[in-house]
Structure 1
Amino acid sequence: MTFTLAMLPPQQDATASWPGRLAQAVPGLRVLRPDTAEEAADALREADAAYGALPAELLRHAGRLRWLQAPQAGPPPGFYHRGLVEHPVQVTNMRDTYTDHVAAHTLALVLALARNVPRYVRDQAAARWEPDWDPGAVLALAETSALVVGVGAVGAEVRRLLEAFGTRVVGVDARRTGPGILPADRLDDLLPEADLVILTVPHTPQTEGLMDAGRLALLKPSAYLVNVGRGAIVRLDDLVAALEAGRLRGAALDVFETEPLPASHPLWQRTDVLLTPHVAGSGPHADERRFAVLLENARRFAEGRDLVNVVDKEQWF
């Protein structure tokens, strides 16, 4: 089948070679790469498919569009606006393209918390030698109960890595079932039992504000919270209040409600918190993995086959 794909601005330098590679690999494919919003609107009038974001002002030009490939696994807030949800276009995303990177980063955060590394990093910066020999300062992973919230590709890999340390891991998930995976409505029952709560869920209407004051109050005071999912899942004001009140042992966050996290935010100064600037997905081969998903779906679209990584637009994933 002959079709036209529009790669919408803004584009990364890494994608500059993609139009030529796609056109060469998929017979009958014509790729447009507009540079401006005006050019994008023109391209969408003749496009059957698109790669990028489609805000409302562009979507109204997409009368022919039947497939939209999102550039991320979890696109930023506003991507799934009401117009896009109601439009008949099928959306696919980039999930599973950096599972190994996010899982490794998650384990790095967990190990850092378990061995009191945030405190020692601050001691190093101050040239301060103060070893803590209190056994309670260390979280023994082989004696730890972990709750993984969201057992998709990342959550499943985090579970596998934790189990290698002897950690007992239970997961909750809204879609998946299996040994050790319970329905999402069991979350409140499981939170009080966990020494370590790891959030890997996407940002959806159901997960926005999932960890608020009420749920943070369910955690035991000795528990740690780790968020590598999306920033909107954890209410930061409620997290700060819980830490200040001693209702939580510590936290590690790679994602935040507001990004960049303001320099004045109290989390920066806390010795019981470890922060990384939304880099869990960084690592080699990311661009080639994303291209592989786009190429696979372009081939499937041309052949009239089912696409991979199809999104439920109402649920945003």
Structure 2
Amino acid sequence: MRGLFAPLGDAVEVTFPSSRDQDSLRSALADGAEVVIGDFTGELVLDADAIAAATRLAFVQMPSVGTDSIDVAALTARNVPAANTAGSNARGVAEWAVGAAFALCRQLVWGDRHVRAGEWPQMELAGRQPRELHAQRVGIVGFGAIGSEAARLFTALGCAVSYWTRRPRPDASATYRELDDLMATSDIVVLALPLTDETRGLIGPERLALLPDGALLVNVARGGIAPDDAVLAALESGRLAGAALDVFDEEPLQVEHPLRSHESVLLSPHVAGASAQSQLNLVVMVKDNVTAAVQGREVQNIVNGVNPQVRRR
């Protein structure tokens, strides 16, 4: 990290919390921190207490698209701009969603697991009715950079694609549907929206029950939007024929969680956006924004509506 900002010379001093806990974070912030780069893992939360400790705080940059590990409202109240890296991993995450949909449709994970176990389940796999992706109706929940890119890729593969978002896009290539209608008419549902107070539990038991029997779920959003227990219940009832999950209510996923042993689930450790290209995009965006803040230029990708001109305290 220090090397990343070496071109700024004596204009910056890069420091880290002495250990990975909230007390050390607050102590480091109270020591005069002006520009803060958040913790992409979410382990160190920039909550209201941490923000209050940072009396000279002027700018927060998240090295991620998600901002659920910072108290955006508290930053806004302090008139501190907060930015993310919107779009940095859009293609990477969208490709993961398409790849996961392929894997679910063709039962790739199930087949791999059983062949590795010494079996040759040719007829059994055929009996699980693998599908061709182009014949599936795809519904995308959330239509930001990731959702719109996923829609483009699914459309290119021949899928009928619809989407839902709070603000319909007049120029969208996909068909807008109200959320309940989208759930009821989608063979594959892709979740690609941020976790907020409004979206927590948005795809719960009631909405999962709207799906056609045998639907598939791909979650590249955040844990808690479709609660793990609700997804598991939909799988066990047969409403969901399969799920590809990159995110979970609690991360890491508990060792004994039933999702780990479910035959029809593809599990991933929150890495849909971890392609080499996406990580390079992220690093460049963080470097450019922090450099702009230090040099008195406007920063990009503000998420809380505060003036993007960073003002030192």
TM-score, normalised relative to structure 1: 0.83
Q: For residue 5 of structure 1, what is the aligned residue in structure 2? A: none
The yes-or-no answer on 1:190 pairing with 2:182 is yes
Q: Please state if 1:90 is matched with 2:81.
A: yes
**Residue identity in the other structure for 1:52:** G
SS in 2 for 1:233: coil
Aligned to 2:29: 40
User: Counterpart of 2:154 in 1: which secondary structure?
Assistant: helix
Q: Distance in 2 between matches of 1:307 and 1:61?
A: 23
Equivalent position amino acid for 1:131 in 2: Q
1:59–1:218 CA distance, 2 compared to 1 (3 A): same
Amino acid in the other structure paired with 2:14: L
Pairwise CA distance, 1:58: 3.1
Could you say if the C-alpha distance between residues 66 and 43 of structure 1 is closer, same or farther in structure 2, counting changes exceeding 3 Å? closer
- Following the alignment from structure 2 to structure 1, what is the Cα–Cα distance between the partners of residues 84 and 208? 31
- Unaligned 5+ segments in structure 2 are 19-23, 40-45, 307-313
The answer (yes or no) to whether the contact 2:208–2:234 under 8 Å persists in 1 is yes
- Using the TM superposition, give the Cα deviation of residue 126 of structure 1 relative to its aligned residue in structure 2, in angstroms: 1.3
Residues 154, 89 of structure 1: alpha-carbon distance in 2 compared, 3 angstrom cutoff: same
Contact 2:186-2:212 within 8 A present in 1 as well:
yes
Q: Relative to 1, partners in 2 of residues 1:96 and 1:122: Cα closer, same or farther, differing over 3 Å?
A: same
Contact 1:19-1:31 within 8 A present in 2 as well: no
Alignment partners' CA distance in 2, 1:39 and 1:214: 45
Matches within 5 A, 1:1-317: 15-21=1-7, 23-24=8-9, 29-36=11-18, 37=24, 38-44=27-33, 47=34, 49-52=35-38, 54-75=46-67, 77-80=68-71, 83-132=74-123, 134=126, 137-175=129-167, 177=169, 178-180=171-173, 186-301=178-293, 305-312=297-304
State the one-letter code of the partner of 1:41.
A
Q: 1:293 Cα deviation (Å)?
A: 1.5
In structure 2, give the amino acid aligned to 1:51.
Answer: I
Give the aligned residue type for 1:311: V
CA separation in 1, counterparts of 2:133 and 2:176? 25
Whether the aligned pair in 2 keeps the contact of 1:171 and 1:180 (CA below 8 Å) is no
- The whole-number CA distance in structure 2 between the counterparts of 1:286 and 1:241 is 34
Listed one character per residue, the Cα deviations across residues 156-185 of structure 1 (whole Å, up to 9, x for unaligned) are 22112212221111111224512345668x
Q: Which moved more, 1:63-72 or 1:128-137?
A: 128-137
| Structure-1 separation of matches of 2:240 and 2:278 | 35
Greater relative contact order structure (CA < 8 Å, 6+ sep): 2
Indicate if the aligned counterparts of 2:62 and 2:83 stay in contact, CA closer than 8 A. yes
Could you tell me which amino acid in structure 2 is paired with residue 71 of structure 1? P
Unaligned runs of 5+ residues in structure 1 are: 1-14
CA distance in 1, matches of 2:250, 2:72: 19
CA-CA distance at 1:136 after TM superposition: 6.8
**Alpha-carbon distance, 1:85 to partner:** 4.4
- Count of residues in correspondence between the two structures: 291
Question: 1:303 Cα deviation (Å)?
Answer: 6.1
Contact 1:148 1:198 in 2 (8 A): yes
For 1:73 and 1:151, the matched residues in 2 are separated by 14
Structure 1's 276 and 294: CA in aligned 2 closer, same or farther, altered over 3 A? closer
Structure 1 pair 33–288 and aligned structure 2 pair: CA distance change class (3 A): farther
Quote how far apart the aligned CAs of 1:229 are. Answer: 0.6
Identical-pair percentage: 32
Note the alpha carbon deviations across 1:38-84, whole angstroms, 9 max, x for none: 3432122xx2x322263334322333333211122114x44226533
